């Protein structure tokens, strides 16, 4: 089950990054006028990835407390991404 979950997360991330950006660029070319605006969301998502890895590596699994911590990180990421 663990392998399926990890494959699903990595697969959905790869799909979203390639298909969503690809289709978006087909519809209307994407131009990045200020790449500096991408730094804060990048740092936030990498930090949350690190937290998820640390939580999972601690005991080899994620429990409900870990799930709540990760879910609480999502609104933080959204706020950082929108600012």
Residue 79: give the domain boundaries.
Answer: 33-83
22: DSSP letter: H
Instruction: Give the pLDDT of residue 27.
Output: 93
Q: Record the tokens describing residue 13, joined without a space.
A: 């991330």
Number of domain units in the chain: 2
Whether residue 36 is predicted with pLDDT greater than 80 in this model: the reply is yes
Domain co-membership, 37 together with 70? yes
Instruction: Give the pLDDT of residue 1.
Output: 65
The pTM (predicted TM-score) of the whole model is 0.58
Domain co-membership, 25 together with 46? no
């Amino acid at each position: 089950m663990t392998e399926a979950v990890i494959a699903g997360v990595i697969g959905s991330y790869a799909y979203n990054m390639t298909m969503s950006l690809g289709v978006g660029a087909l519809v209307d070319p994407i131009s990045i006028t200020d790449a500096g605006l991408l730094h804060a969301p990048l740092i936030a998502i990498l930090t949350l990835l690190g937290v998820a890895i640390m939580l999972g590596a601690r005991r080899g699994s994620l429990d409900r407390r870990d799930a709540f911590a990760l879910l609480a990180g999502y609104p933080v990421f959204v706020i950082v991404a929108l600012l």
